[in-house]
Structure 1
Amino acid sequence: MLAILLRHPRCSALLAGFLSAAGFAPLSLWPVTLACFFALLLLIEAAPDRRTVFTRGWLFGLGHFTLGLNWIAHAFTFQDAMPHWFGYGAVILLSLYLAVYPGLAALTAWWANQRMRSGGPLPLILLFAAFWIATEYLRAVAFTGFAWNPLGAVLLPTGVAIASTLIGTYGLGALVVLASGALMLASRRHFASAPAILLPLCVIALWGQIAAAPQAPAGAPRIRVVQPNIGQGEKYSPTLEAEHFRAYAALTGAPRPAPRLIFWPEAAVPAYLDMEPEWRTRLAGLLGPGDLLMTGGDKVYYKEIDKGLYVDRVLSGANNSLWVVTPDARIAARYDKAHLVPYGEYLPMRSILQPLGLSRLVPGDADFWPGPGARSLDLPAALGRPAMKMGVQICYEIIFSGHVVDRANRPAFLFNPSNDAWFGSWGPVQHLAQARLRAIEEGLPIIRSTPTGVSAVIDARGHVRHALSLGRAGFLDTSLPPARPPTLFSRTGNLAPMAFLILLIAVAIATRESRR
């Protein structure tokens, strides 16, 4: 196999990277991902120098992200300020940057292996797994971070993803590398080392397949998740506002004797709820005596400009917010999105880029402002429903492992209102996969409500209990799944994968074989 790869090593790296993304949803071909990383390990091991090994890792990353992030091109079809074809260029440009991180992982692993003067592939495999953790974490935090499609997401169908309760999502990425490395060891007839890696992974997979989440007890709060199937092209149309509200009202249903928690998607309400009491009254009319409505909507800020004869009020900024509305038309709580999407919700270097004709993807002239970060909102008790705490992560925020929960004020569940209507067919299912990883890591159920899908109720083990598929209007009416006791990861955050990183390096040093 190595001889075939080395005939055209750059093309081999690019193709292997491209095919490796088939392990992500919607394809979920995780064995293909393992085979592709096996090929990458062979290319790294055979690299003669630092420049070559970085180039191979970078080309692998270029292919990997180009396929995995193809849905981004679809977002540009809803943006008239920029040409639609630019979306394909945006995918390539972003992939050119993101590919640096696999390149760095390959380079640092190869360099450390050379410095240790080790013989045999095992230390290189362990080092590459360790540095994959480091570079994937770096990708999630550098330049505001872009943590989409962490490698560990390919393990969701296998049951191995349950290990994220211990080592987090970044640690799962290392397990993918180790599994691929086991294939490499087996191909070299290292019949002691390969089982030493595969056996623990099989045990973890079995654990993941048989471990069940706790069942909702009798009297658990009732929830209703609404998905109206309103497309991005019509979402902000003023002429359709009344029709959209009727759709939301119909799917919310008539009030019942038992209190409900009702969940609407991100930006569901085209009103400023703190400034428009008539809209709050309108929403309250849909609620029973003990109901609460969680809905997305903007919070706006104005600045006053003295024009001499009069004072003009100009929109200066906004928050992408989640509002909790009560049956008596009060606002019980509000959460402001903290991790905003660059070029989506705000335009970096606006003074330079706007004159060039570039704009952000979300409609409007003013940028969104970030909120204070993860926190738990208090939901009041009502008609036998106990008071509880709800964590909120709006849309994109849910992808950031270790940053979704206020650890000092742990909630009973997380709500992830989202707008995936412009994510094509690949983006929404990838988004769902990442929400499932957060549920496993934190031991918390997650509720997702989106305009066009995938809306879902996810239990604390990451199982999708109920879902509404893409392009379907409907609602989910069920009981709120219970939380699990805090996991190791929920207590330590990303210190856990970093400890795993150190362990992998230590084992690599301990198992190196001196070159003769």
Structure 2
Amino acid sequence: MGWRALGAGALAGALAGLAMPPLYWLPLAVVGVVAFVWLWQTAPGPRSALMRGWAWGTGHFAVGSYWIVEAFFVPPADYAPLGIPIVTGLAVVLGFFPGLAAGVAKWLVGRWPRLDGRYRRVLVLALAWTAAEWMRGHVFTGFPWNPLAHVWAFATPLLQGAALVGVHGLGLLSFLILAAPMLGWRASIAALVALGLGGVAGQLVMVPLPADGPMLRIVQPNTPQAEKFRPQLAGQHLAKLVELSRQPGFDTLAAVIWPETAPPLVIEPGGRALAIMARAVPPDGFLLTGAAFSKNRPEDGVWNSLLAVDRAGAIVATYDKVHLVPLGEYIPFHRQLAPVSGLIGRGSFEEGVSRVTLALEGLPPFSPVICYEVIFPGAVTGPGARPRWLLNITNDAWFGVSSGPFQHLTSARLRSIEEGLPMMRAANTGISAVIDAYGQVVASIGMEQVGVLDHRLPKARDITPYGRWGDLTTLAFGLLLACLLPFRRK
């Protein structure tokens, strides 16, 4: 009771965080979720359940988000003292969502005694958990990092259910499986059988798809973040990108792909840098690069963009990042509160208008996804005709060799599964990868390595249920399980 219950909750949540990529210590996920359910069931009321769930969530997200601290220590590290307090505060805020699930579920069970059965209680809690996890991805611009279903990312067949019900629907099923020991040995055996059947079904679904698309080259320059934007090194960094792009096989490529903000300067239409970048454009193809992009003058705004550059050095297509990182990429109301935003940041990117599907000659239509945008389920494709592949460019150099880049890659894999689309992923310091439509990493460049990755674009699947209907499939799955609640027999 009391502070002991809160301490146990925080410890259990932290242990469950170690089951996430890249460690995958799955038994700790069972321990963490079972402790969450036990603390919830023994809570005397909704308020106590909320506080225990909040403590569990704070411990969980402190472990799952520690890597953000790394960014505060990148030189010149002006805000290094704020790193640990801010990340701790973020864990406290994110912890509210498991707490909300616990409090609401406790209130529902107390309000309607018909729900107060051993199996029904856990199902109510699982449904509340899933609703809170969905909210975490939407409230205050959302931060759906490390949803529960990511504990299965070590076995790709177990992730295939996301094509049906999305990562949150898979998380609902995951909660029930991990919580099964709370319900006795019969439920535990049933959970293991369900897990085995899910793995077999996932493997059967994964029919081999040929990589028969155009040949693409991913460039990973491995530029340290502390050196990336030093003016005296700009020419050197740009020359390195061009040199890597022009390695043998260059003439056979349909496109060269550079990471997020790869050129170490603001790119302007007609600027001198474009003439240098044009040397990285294949004879009959394009350079697809992330860039800090000014459409007129930097004083009028800079966007975090993807640019398609042709052989003549002209920008033929653009995508401006829509979902910016609050306080990382922009200061809210930075134009209205210019003096204040100038004191607390180094400037703000402008927000893009909408996601897009780009169609370029010689390339199947694709939807660009810049960095952090890839963690948002159901929000990675543009309107209109369905793209045939996803392009994810990112710069994870801010976070060193921490768990962050590995967890980021897992999110990218889930988006490919949900949409049934392959993905080409270019990262500055890693992990760059070719991901097929089943979320399998078929080729990659590891962390902090310099290199290029040439690969034909894998084939897309037919549109998946989640790709067609999005979160409605998650809702339908939750309602289907909720229909079991009125039944008395277990």
Same fold (TM over 0.5): yes
Aligned-pair CA distance for 1:500: 1.6
* Distance in 2 of aligned mates of 1:136 and 1:353: 34
SS in 2 for 1:379: coil
Closer/same/farther in 2, CA of residues 184 and 147 from structure 1, 3 Å limit: same
Contact 1:223 1:261 in 2 (8 A): yes
Unaligned runs of 5+ in 1: 303-312, 382-386
Shift of 1:250: 2.2
Residues 93-151 of structure 1 show CA distances to partners (whole Å, capped at 9, x for unaligned) of 11111111000111122222223314432112111211122111111111111111111
Residues 123 and 512 in structure 1, CA contact (< 8 A), matched pair in contact too? no
SS in structure 1 at match of 2:406:
helix
SS at match of 2:153: helix
Instruction: Please name the residue that 2:256 is paired with.
Output: 262
**Aligned match for 1:392, one of 368, 381, 385:** 368
- Who is 1:165 aligned against? 163
Aligned-pair CA distance for 1:214: 3.5
Letter in 1 for 2:368: V
Does the Cα contact within 8 Å between 1:216 and 1:479 map onto a contact in 2?
A: no
- Alpha-carbon distance between aligned partners in 2 of 1:419 and 1:511, rounded to the nearest angstrom: 53
Deviations 1:60-93 (A, max 9, x none): 0000000100001111112647431211111111
State yes or no: 1:249 paired with 2:242: yes
Report how many aligned residue pairs link the two structures: 485
Alignment of 1:141-180 (within 5 A): 141-158=138-155, 159-180=157-178
**Cα drift, residue 278 of structure 1:** 3.0
Aligned to 1:291: 285
Letter in 1 for 2:163: T
2:220 and 2:451 in contact (8 A); partners too: yes
- Checking the alignment, whether the CA contact within 8 Å between 2:267 and 2:294 is kept in structure 1 is no
Equivalent in 329, 339, 345 of residue 329 of structure 2: 345
Equivalent position of 1:215 in the other structure = 209
Identify the residue that residue 439 of structure 1 maps to in structure 2: 416
Contact 1:376 1:391 in 2 (8 A): yes
Partner of 1:236: 229
Q: How has the CA–CA distance of structure 1 residues 211 and 356 changed in structure 2, closer, same or farther, with 3 Å as cutoff?
A: closer
Q: Equivalents in 1 of 2:337, 2:266: separation in Å?
A: 30
Q: Which has the higher contact order (CA 8 A, sep 6+)?
A: 1
Select the residue among 341, 356, 363 that pairs with 1:375.
356
**1:202, distance to aligned residue in structure 2 (A):** 2.1
CA deviation profile, 1:294-344 (whole Å, cap 9, x unmatched) = 001122266xxxxxxxxxx87142211000111232222100000000000
Give the match for residue 308 of structure 1.
Answer: none
Query: Unpaired runs of 5+ in structure 2?
Result: none
Gap change, CA 1:51 and 1:357, over 3 Å in 2: farther
Give the superposition deviation at 1:207. 2.3
* Cα displacement (A) at 1:416: 0.7
Counterpart among 80, 88, 93 of residue 97 in structure 1: 93
Aligned residue in 2 for 1:139: 136
Deviation at 1:217, TM superposition (A): 4.9
Residue 323 of structure 1 pairs with residue 307 of structure 2:
yes
Aligned partners of 1:232 and 1:411: how far apart in 2? Answer: 32
Aligned counterparts, 1:64-79, within 5 A = 64-78=60-74
Note closer, same or farther for the CA distance 1:511–1:203 as it changes in structure 2 (3 Å cut). Answer: farther
**1:277 Cα deviation (Å)?**
4.1
Q: Distance in 2 between matches of 1:195 and 1:108?
A: 29
The answer on 1:202 being equivalent to 2:178 is no
Greater mean deviation of Cα atoms: 15-24 or 322-331: 322-331
Aligned ranges 1:495-506 → 2 under 5 Å: 495-506=472-483
SS at match of 2:143: coil
Is contact 1:168-1:441 (8 Å) kept? yes
Of 59, 62, 77, 2:58 maps to 62
- Give 1:156 shift: 1.3
- Write the distance in 1 (CA, Å) between the matches of 2:263 and 2:375: 24
Note the aligned Cα RMSD (angstroms).
2.3
Distance 2:385 2:372 in 1: 22
What's the % identity of the aligned pairs?
A: 37
Cα deviation, residue 7, structure 1: 9.7
Structure 1 counterpart SS, 2:442: strand
Query: What's the counterpart of residue 477 of structure 1?
Result: 454
User: Larger C-alpha radius of gyration, 1 or 2?
Assistant: 1
What SS does structure 1 have at the residue aligned with 2:454?
strand
Paired position in structure 2 for 1:309: none
Q: 1:99 to 1:332 in 2, by over 3 A?
A: same
Q: 1:354 to 1:167 in 2, by over 3 A?
A: farther
Distance of 1:319 and 1:176 partners within structure 2: 39
Q: 1:123 maps to what in 2?
A: 120
The corresponding residue for 1:401 is: 377
